[in-house]
Amino acid sequence: MRLSTLLPLALGLAPAAVSAAGTLGFALGDKNPDGSCKAQSDYEADFDKLSPLSKLVRIYSASDCNSAKNIVPAAKAKGFKVVLAVWPDTEESFNSDTAALKSVVPGNEDVVEAITVGSETLYRGNFTGEQLLEKINQVKQMFPNVVVGTADSWNKYADGTADPLITGGVTYLLGNAFAYWQGAPITNASRVYFDDISQAIEHVQKIAGANAKNIRFATGETGWPTDGGSNYGPAVASTQNAETFYKQGVCGMLKWGMDVFYFEAFDEPWKPKSVGDDGQAEDETHWGMFTADRKDKFDTTC
Ligand SMILES: *[C@@H]1O[C@H](CO)[C@@H](O)[C@H](O)[C@H]1NC(C)=O
Ligand SMILES: CC(=O)N[C@H]1CO[C@H](CO)[C@@H](O)[C@@H]1O
């Protein structure tokens, strides 16, 4: 979705014309349930399951688990497009991801939707906007025929941290927005999500000015944990709540014309528990729209 067409809606005005619905994509892990690396055939099985809903996925690192090398031929075979990625946080990860992309992208641009450089690096304070722009520009030079951008938390677009990207000509911006991690009760979660995205878009539009029409802004990650997940204050993990968030928040955002990547496609039971901001152990293994063995959890029609 181009920003210029979305913003009037963000401000709450009626659309001049009915705009096309947004595109649903999925965040996709690069490991099997047992923690082994996915092979091309595993990605193909993933795509077979996702195919009725979507033809677009994003990954997080091109070299981890040889994911770019394995996912690109799978995408080609199954008619999918992929947002490939560079993890720029260290010299080592930047170099191995860009090397992996150099061996995979040329000749396969038709299945590469974009390349993201960084995932929430501004949110973690790992880079300033200027530093991230430099990394993005390095990758742009390597792949002049591919759209290159980044993914970060919605509030880093809203609070000006990402301004150097906008003034620096980056045209692919993914904003992650988890009402769950903001501790929203499910009854208010979709409103929080819309509010987050609106704030991000409004600021990006303001800074971009006339260039806004060239910027693609999409939700990079959103979702809700299902039964077995951890609660986060009033945000309660349950399959029913995940369905509610999907139907109201995600389907609503798509109808509004915004592209959305759902986090995430499949449960990842290999993931270790992490410690959250509140010091509690957080389960990260129940965020899939589908189970680890690719079974439905809830009705996924919009
Ligand atoms: C619901 O979310 C909106 C947007 O973030 C917020 O302004 C409002 O206070 C919330 N309402 C409740 C009852 O939590
Ligand atoms: C430039 C910069 O701050 N890089 C740091 C990003 O974070 C990693 C750890 O996740 C550090 O090792 C880098 O030095």
Domains in the chain, number: 1
- pLDDT score of 282: 82
Q: What is the mean pLDDT of residues 192-198?
A: 96
3 in a structural domain = no
7 in a structural domain = no
62 in a structural domain = yes
12 in a structural domain = no
- pLDDT score of 14: 38
Reported as a single tens digit per residue, the pLDDT across 10-57 is 444 334 344 579 999 999 999 999 999 999 999 999 999 999 999 999
Reported as a single tens digit per residue, the pLDDT across 71-83 is 999 999 999 999 9
4 in a structural domain = no
206 in a structural domain = yes
Specify the pTM: 0.93
| Ligand 2: lining residues by beta carbon, under 6 Å | 89-90, 126-127
Choosing from 178, 187, 191 the residue with most ligand 1 atoms within 8 A of its CB, the one to mutate for a pocket test is 191
Verify whether ligand 1 is closer than 6 Å to residue 137 (CB atom): no
Q: What is the mean pLDDT of residues 230-257?
A: 96
Look at residue 168 and tell me whether its pLDDT is greater than 90: yes
- pLDDT score of 125: 96
Nearest CA to ligand 2 atom 3: 126
CATH value at residue 254: 3.20.20.80
Q: DSSP letters of the chain?
A: -BHHHHHHHHTTPPPSSPPPPPPEEEE--SB-TTSPBPPHHHHHHHHHHHTTT-SEEE-S-SSGGGHHHHHHHHHHHHT-EEEEEE--SSHHHHHHHHHHHHHHSTT-GGGEEEEEEEESTTTTTSS-HHHHHHHHHHHHHH-TTS-EEEEEEHHHHHTSTTHHHHHTT--EEEEE--TGGGT--HHHHHHHHHHHHHHHHHHHHHHHGGGGGG-EEEEEEE----TTSPPBTTB---HHHHHHHIIIIIHHHHHTT--EEES-SB--TTPPPEE-TTS-EE--S---SB-TTS-B-S----
15 in a structural domain = no
Q: What is the mean pLDDT of residues 50-70?
A: 98
Domain that holds residue 241: 24-290
Verify whether ligand 1 is closer than 6 Å to residue 188 (CB atom): yes
Ligand 2, atom nearest to 121 Cα: 6
296 in a structural domain = no
